[in-house]
Amino acid sequence: MSNIAKAFERGKAFIPFITCGDPDLETTAAVVRAAVLNGADLIELGIPFSDPTAEGPVIQDASLRALRGGVTTDKIFELVRELRRDVTVPMVFMTYANVVFSYGAERFISTCRDIGIDGLILPDLPFEEKEEFLPLCHQYSVDLISLIAPTSENRIAMIAREAEGFLYIVSSLGVTGMRSEITTDLAAIVEVVRKNTDIPCAIGFGISNPEQAAHMAALSDGAIVGSAIVRLLEQYGKDAPGYVGAYVKQMKDAVIHASI
């Protein structure tokens, strides 16, 4: 069984996303530990890409800050090695196909296994292109996480049937970023997902406050939050770990017993 399943064993899951290297890798490490200490069930570590086409302004800016600060894929691998000395919750990388491809897919994915990365989320790798990396992910036991969008419709069943790790349900049209309102009929999407797979599903994009998170977790198995956390890093820089810890606690408390 995938290690990622452990993330969904403590009630509904809260999954924070953190851009590695913003403002520096020491802060990233401290933020990850603060999030885990305060109840984060799975950590999404963003490897910054120069041109993140699925991201809104908050994560775009964080990516560029991190790259300007000199972060590289190799330095992020070292960060994960260091984190794995004490962090046991599942961790996945979120990045773009070119970051994996250019590093050498086998070299990248085998390193993921060696350092304790459990899965890979690539927003520009849809179902039709997953063969690019899937055989290597299987070879090295790294889950290739699939995404489902509000526009997926007739594709939901096909994607869910072959999904592994967990399913990432995109809450709304558009790119990542905080939204005041989420109008997609997510219950209908989750219903099709449940009919086609037993793996957990979590909802992300646009979630920033405990009410939204509780609502999304009630509909699914957990809530994913990126931009709201990255915003705290933008605001507080090296002092962010305390703020992120408090935020994660509030969010985990909101989702843990969420039900419809």
Partner 1 sequence: MTNPNGRFGIHGGQYIPETLMNAVIELDEAYQHYKEDPAFNRELTELLNEYAGRPSRLYYAAKMTADLGGAKIYLKREDLNHTGAHKINNVLGQALLAKKMGKTRLIAETGAGQHGVATATAAALMGMECVVFMGKEDTVRQALNVYRMRLLGAEVIPVTSGTATLKDAVSEAMREWTNRIDDTHYCLGSVMGPHPFPTIVRDFQAVISREIKAQMLEKEGRLPDAVIACVGGGSNAIGSFYHFIGDKDVRLIGCEAAGRGVDTFETAATVATGKVGIFHGMKSYFCQDEYGQIAPVYSISAGLDYPGVGPEHAYLHDIGRAEYVPVTDEEAVCAFEYLARTEGIIPAIESAHAVAHAMRLAPTLGKDKCIVITVSGRGDKDCAAIARYRGEDLYE
Q: Which of 19, 30, 3 minimizes the C-alpha distance to 94?
A: 19
**Cβ-based nearer residue to partner 1, 119 or 123:** 123
- Tell me if the bond preceding 210 is cis, omega within 30° of 0: no
* Interaction of residue 28 with partner 1, rule CB under 8 A: no
> What contacts 24+ positions apart, CB below 8 Å, involve 152-158?
152/189, 155/127, 156/189, 156/192, 156/193, 156/196, 157/192, 157/195, 157/196, 158/127
* Interaction of residue 20 with partner 1, rule CB under 8 A: no
Binders in 117-136 for partner 1, by CB under 8 A: 123-129, 132
* Interaction of residue 259 with partner 1, rule CB under 8 A: no
**Cβ-based nearer residue to partner 1, 60 or 111:** 60
Would you state the structure tokens that stand for residue 237, as one six-digit string? 């820089």
* Interaction of residue 64 with partner 1, rule CB under 8 A: yes
* Interaction of residue 196 with partner 1, rule CB under 8 A: no
Interacting stretch for partner 1, rule CB under 8 A, among 8-16, 154-162, 182-190, 207-215? 154-162
**Cβ-based nearer residue to partner 1, 6 or 130:** 130
> Helix, strand or coil for residue 198?
coil
Number of residues that bind partner 1 (CB under 8 A): 44
Query: C-alpha distances in angstroms, 220 versus 103, 141, 171?
Result: 34, 25, 11
* Interaction of residue 147 with partner 1, rule CB under 8 A: yes
154 sits in the region (left: phi over 0; alpha: psi -120 to 50; else beta) called: alpha
Interacting stretch for partner 1, rule CB under 8 A, among 6-14, 35-43, 45-53, 78-86? 45-53
Neighbours of 125 (CB within 10 A): 22
Q: What is the DSSP string of 227-245?
A: HHHHHHHHHHGGGHHHHHH
Question: Which residue type does 53 have?
Answer: T
Beta strand pairing call for 91-94 and 43-46: parallel
Binders in 79-108 for partner 1, by CB under 8 A: 96-103
Q: From the CB of 95, what's the least distance to partner 1, in Å? A: 9
Q: From the CB of 9, what's the least distance to partner 1, in Å? A: 27
* Interaction of residue 189 with partner 1, rule CB under 8 A: no
Among 23, 90, 119, 150, binds partner 1 (CB under 8 A): 150
Among 28, 60, 197, 208, binds partner 1 (CB under 8 A): 60
Euclidean distance between CA atoms 14 and 256, whole angstroms = 8
* Interaction of residue 214 with partner 1, rule CB under 8 A: no
Euclidean distance between CA atoms 94 and 228, whole angstroms = 16
Q: Which residues bind partner 1 (CB under 8 A)?
A: 49-51, 53-54, 56-57, 60, 64, 67, 72-74, 96-103, 123-129, 132, 146-155, 159, 170, 173-175
